[in-house]
């Protein structure tokens, strides 16, 4: 499946309009429409915003997988084990990203 069809399907599944999605990723509704029609490639930074908003992986948006999840298969103990092997800089980056995700999640709920 082409990524632009994925964008349209995710938008429809969330009962959003093109205008609403365009606000989420901070582009005009007209420009977002070009992403959905496959006329313009979506920038990576915009795809990340959509993946975060829809809580799906970038691979799902790109059509590389039909599995929407990207971390559900990682058990808390495996996550903790991997986290413990990171250096302090990368631990801080993970902590910061998790804080951002929790904040965004709180806004959706």
DSSP 54-68: HT--HHHHHTS-S--
pLDDT for 89-104, tens place per residue? 999 999 998 898 888 8
pLDDT for 10-58, tens place per residue? 999 999 999 999 999 999 999 999 999 999 999 999 999 999 999 898 8
CB 18, CB 29: distance < 8 Å: yes
- pTM (2 decimals)? 0.61
Helices (H), the chain: 3-13, 18-25, 29-37, 44-54, 58-62, 76-84, 88-108
18-25 and 44-54 are packed helices; what angle lies between their axes, rounded to 10 degrees?
Answer: 110
For the four alpha carbons of 70, 58, 5 and 53, in that order, the dihedral sign comes to positive
The DSSP code for 70 is S
């Amino acid at each position: 499946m082409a990524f632009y069809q994925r964008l349209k399907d995710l938008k429809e599944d969330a009962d959003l309009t093109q205008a609403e999605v365009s606000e989420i990723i901070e582009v005009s509704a007209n420009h977002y429409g070009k992403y959905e029609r496959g006329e313009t490639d979506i920038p990576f930074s915009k795809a990340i915003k959509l993946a975060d908003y829809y809580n799906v992986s970038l691979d799902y948006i790109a059509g590389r997988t039909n599995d929407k999840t990207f971390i559900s298969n990682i058990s808390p103990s495996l996550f903790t084990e991997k986290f413990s092997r990171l250096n302090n800089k990368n631990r801080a980056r993970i902590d910061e990203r998790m804080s951002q995700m929790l904040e965004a999640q709180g806004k959706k709920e």
